[in-house]
Structure 1
Amino acid sequence: MVDSLPADWPGAWSPDWAAPPQVVARMSTRLGGHSAPPCDSLNFKRSPGLVPAQAAAETLAVQANRARWAQALGAQPVWLDQVHGIVVQRLDGRLLQALAAGAAAPVADAAITTEPGIACTVMVADCLPVLLCTRDGRAVGAAHAGWRGLAGGVLEATATALCEAADVGPDQLLAWLGPCIGPQAFEVGPEVLQAFGAEPLEVCTDPAFVARRDGQGRLRWLADLPALARRRLQAAGLGAVDGGRWCTVSDPRRWHSYRRDHAAGPTGRLAASIAIRPL
């Protein structure tokens, strides 16, 4: 089910940031793919919640969607087995050969590469996708940052790996924050505040958290995931951090959202990718 990519394909858009011209970065929407409802239509991961007949059809649709994504990138995306951790996988030609021979997807929540034509790729459905590159375009990376990975240090680990790969300091890195669950929708419990070193009080001194009472009168908090990520990146030495302005929950036409949709059934996955253009 591999088809040609229309010139006006709505499935991918390009971040507006200061990446050098040899870097290609793309964020997917849920538009322009092959998947059937409820994961329609551009979905990159088959949900385990599908019945057998749906699962077989969705497997083929996901394969076709991934092929379209590779066309849009002009590079080979590497799909990770994401576990909300902080492992950073370095991507190279040997890994591509192993995957083509049937090796399992790397267990990691971030990837970097210095090789042209390989796309560091993460999947999200409310978690924050973060794309990074060096100012000279010699190294790129992508990170999947849910609150657990963010608190654990996945962004710092990715930045460190990029700096080591390109032999540069963190001030030579650029970052872009993609769409995620927004600060008006991300209600969390005290464990999230504590993971970021904030006290779970009704008047919280951390501006990234706003206290509220739920329908049962329990104290909960609204968390600003992009603000927490921006804080972490800046503390790691990055001065150029863009994006982080789109809420997946509030726009069902454009984005998949686990928190919004999972109670009604399976949820699709978006993709964020970054690559060095092939020579």
Structure 2
Amino acid sequence: MKKSHLGNLPVYTFSHFSSYPEIVHFSTTRNGGRSEGIYQSLNLGFHSGDKNTHVQANREVLANALDLQPEQLVFAVQTHSADVVRINADVLSWSDEIRREQLNETDALITNESNICIAVKTADCIPVLLYDPQRKAAAAIHAGWRGTVGRIVAKTIEAMQLEYGTQPEDLIAGIGPGIGPRVYQIGPEVVQIVHKQLGENHGFIQYLVSKNEHQKTPHLNLWKANRIQLRESGIRAENIEVAELCTFSHPEDFYSARRDGAATGRLATGIMIRT
């Protein structure tokens, strides 16, 4: 990924997505918004402890940068599930309450509608974007460790195949900023689940000496786990870009729940097909 801008808003973008002028995509930083204190400044997540008025103002900043009305910006209502929802033009007429109901327990969105930006929120979890340039369809995925072992990336690709006729070999994919394997220490119960659901042969878990510790502890590589799911689903290796930007290690640009606690801001990663 490279640093870029949406208008005056600082963002990161994938190099190979930029080859497709019919889409706009981004991963936000923590900069350019209205929130204060520990949420400074572009917190895009409600229910994080920040003032709702600040979050709403920040979403308007993002919508303005995209040259959209706020209702054209659609976020998943995330619960670390492996559920995928198709977004069509009906979403523009939904009230906030109906959106919460319809998108509840949803961690991936797919669409082939133009001028609707689908997005996910993260503060260490892994955001994944997909784009099918043949059928003009896109996906935004939130993949924490639970979503990863639930194979949410693979399920999203299956949903795009079913809904749009997407062929995996046509897809381009980007794995955005998230917690890196050098700092993402996990407990033995997560190790057991990862081995059971994803197998032990890919090296998703490494035993490393953590900071301030004198013994090796298990660390999970979510970047690699999701890249392997993309490959196993049929996406070409050359069509996958991994940012390898660690949210924990770059406090100047990113929020991190592991670093700062649950009361912190949320980044957004999204994609939109232009008219």
Q: Would you call these one fold, judging by a TM-score over 0.5?
A: yes
- Residue 98 of structure 2 aligns with which residue? 103
In structure 1, C-alpha distance between the alignment counterparts of 2:116 and 2:8, rounded to whole Å: 24
Q: Could you say what secondary structure the match of 1:268 adopts? A: coil
Greater alpha carbon shift after TM alignment, 131-140 vs 266-275: 131-140
In structure 1, C-alpha distance between the alignment counterparts of 2:186 and 2:219, rounded to whole Å: 6
The alpha-carbon distance between structure 1 residues 241 and 255, as it changes in their structure 2 partners (threshold 3 A), is same
Counterpart contact for 2:135–2:164, Cα < 8 Å = no
Counterpart contact for 1:30–1:41, Cα < 8 Å = yes
Deviations 1:205-244 (A, max 9, x none): 6422211466677763011110010011101111121123
CA RMSD of aligned residues (A): 2.3
The residue type equivalent to 1:178 in the other structure is G
* Structure 2: tracts of 5 or more residues without a match: none
Q: Could you say what secondary structure the match of 2:98 adopts? A: coil
Counterpart contact for 1:179–1:247, Cα < 8 Å = yes
Deviations 1:22-57 (A, max 9, x none): 111111000010000101100011345x4xxxx5xx
- Residue 157 of structure 2 aligns with which residue? 159
Counterparts of 1:1-279 in structure 2, within 5 Å, are: 7-10=7-10, 12-18=11-17, 20-48=20-48, 50=49, 58-75=51-68, 76-99=72-95, 102-105=97-100, 106-107=103-104, 108-136=106-134, 138-197=136-195, 206-212=202-208, 220-239=217-236, 240-262=239-261, 266-277=263-274, 279=275
In structure 2, C-alpha distance between the alignment counterparts of 1:111 and 1:7, rounded to whole Å: 25
The alpha-carbon distance between structure 1 residues 7 and 230, as it changes in their structure 2 partners (threshold 3 A), is closer
The residue type equivalent to 2:61 in the other structure is R
Deviations 1:91-143 (A, max 9, x none): 1111221236x414212000000110111110000000000010336100100
The alpha-carbon distance between structure 1 residues 186 and 216, as it changes in their structure 2 partners (threshold 3 A), is closer
1:163: Cα distance to partner? 2.0
The alpha-carbon distance between structure 1 residues 63 and 176, as it changes in their structure 2 partners (threshold 3 A), is same
In structure 2, C-alpha distance between the alignment counterparts of 1:273 and 1:99, rounded to whole Å: 21
In structure 1, C-alpha distance between the alignment counterparts of 2:208 and 2:27, rounded to whole Å: 32
The alpha-carbon distance between structure 1 residues 6 and 20, as it changes in their structure 2 partners (threshold 3 A), is closer
Counterpart contact for 2:135–2:166, Cα < 8 Å = no
The residue type equivalent to 1:245 in the other structure is E
Kindly, what percent of the aligned residue pairs are identical? 32
* Structure 1: tracts of 5 or more residues without a match: none
Q: Could you say what secondary structure the match of 1:188 adopts? A: coil
Q: Could you say what secondary structure the match of 2:38 adopts? A: coil
Structure number with bigger Rg: 1
1:59: Cα distance to partner? 1.2
The residue type equivalent to 1:24 in the other structure is V
In structure 1, C-alpha distance between the alignment counterparts of 2:263 and 2:99, rounded to whole Å: 23
In structure 2, C-alpha distance between the alignment counterparts of 1:72 and 1:161, rounded to whole Å: 30
1:190: Cα distance to partner? 2.3
The alpha-carbon distance between structure 1 residues 137 and 27, as it changes in their structure 2 partners (threshold 3 A), is farther
Counterpart contact for 1:187–1:223, Cα < 8 Å = yes
Query: How many pairs were matched up?
Result: 259
Q: Which has the larger helix fraction?
A: 2
In structure 1, C-alpha distance between the alignment counterparts of 2:6 and 2:194, rounded to whole Å: 44
Counterpart contact for 1:23–1:137, Cα < 8 Å = no
Q: TM-score, normalised by structure 1?
A: 0.85
Q: TM-score, normalised by structure 2?
A: 0.86
